[in-house]
């Protein structure tokens, strides 16, 4: 079995923590979207975050395995960030629709984009960034929604995505 490599430069426990954190953070953001019965909810946000974390881990492993002083090999982790951003943007765009002159799904799309960024942070080992990003996302999604409803007198209607 030439070519198969079961060894990793990142400890398996560390990978597990990174992937688990990505899933948990995606869960927390997706839970709010699920509770609001949005098209992309719990599982979607978790999968986006997990996928981004896996891509980050792959990039780190590739750099560890193939990176060298050799000029033929050019590995750039920023390319992974760009690819994940483009992929998540494609998914997020699918949640945004225009209906009767109103745009809906922007907040859900932005949440998916953020879940991807949090997944990248988790996968790359930037735990503090992932946790802070999730915390701020929850502040935006939960208490600000209530404040927004009172300030703009939304009368309890659930139309926040038509504005955001």
128 — phi, psi (to 5°)?
-60, -45
pLDDT for residue 91: 86
If you ran DSSP here, which 8-state letter would residue 99 be given? Answer: E
Q: Report the percentage of the chain scoring pLDDT > 70.
A: 84
Could you report the per-residue pLDDT of 45-85, keeping only the tens digit for each?
Answer: 999 999 999 999 998 888 888 776 565 556 777 888 899 88
The three-point CA angle 69-75-76 to 5° equals: 130
Could you report the per-residue pLDDT of 15-53, keeping only the tens digit for each?
Answer: 999 999 999 999 999 998 888 888 788 898 999 999 999
Long-range contacts of 28-31 (CB under 8 A, 24+ apart): 28/134, 28/137, 28/138, 29/111, 29/114, 29/115, 29/118, 29/134, 29/137, 29/138, 29/141, 30/111, 30/115
pLDDT at 146 over 70: yes
User: pTM of the predicted model, to two decimals?
Assistant: 0.79
116 — phi, psi (to 5°)?
-65, -45
| Average pLDDT rounded to a whole number, residues 84-109 | 83
């Amino acid at each position: 079995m030439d070519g198969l490599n079961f060894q990793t430069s990142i400890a398996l426990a560390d990978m597990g923590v990174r992937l688990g954190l990505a899933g948990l953070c995606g869960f927390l953001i997706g839970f709010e979207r699920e509770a609001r019965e949005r098209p992309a909810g719990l599982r979607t946000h978790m999968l986006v975050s997990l996928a981004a974390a896996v891509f980050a881990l792959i990039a780190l492993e590739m750099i560890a395995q193939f990176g060298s002083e050799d000029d033929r090999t050019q590995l750039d982790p920023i390319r992974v960030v760009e690819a994940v951003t483009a992929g998540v943007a494609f998914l997020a765009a699918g949640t945004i629709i225009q209906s009767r002159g109103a745009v809906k799904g922007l907040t859900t799309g932005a949440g998916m984009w953020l879940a991807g960024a949090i997944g990248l942070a988790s996968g790359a080992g930037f735990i503090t960034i992932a946790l802070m990003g999730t915390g701020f996302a929850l502040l935006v999604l939960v208490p600000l929604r209530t404040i927004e409803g009172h300030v703009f007198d939304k009368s309890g209607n659930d139309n926040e995505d038509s504005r955001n």
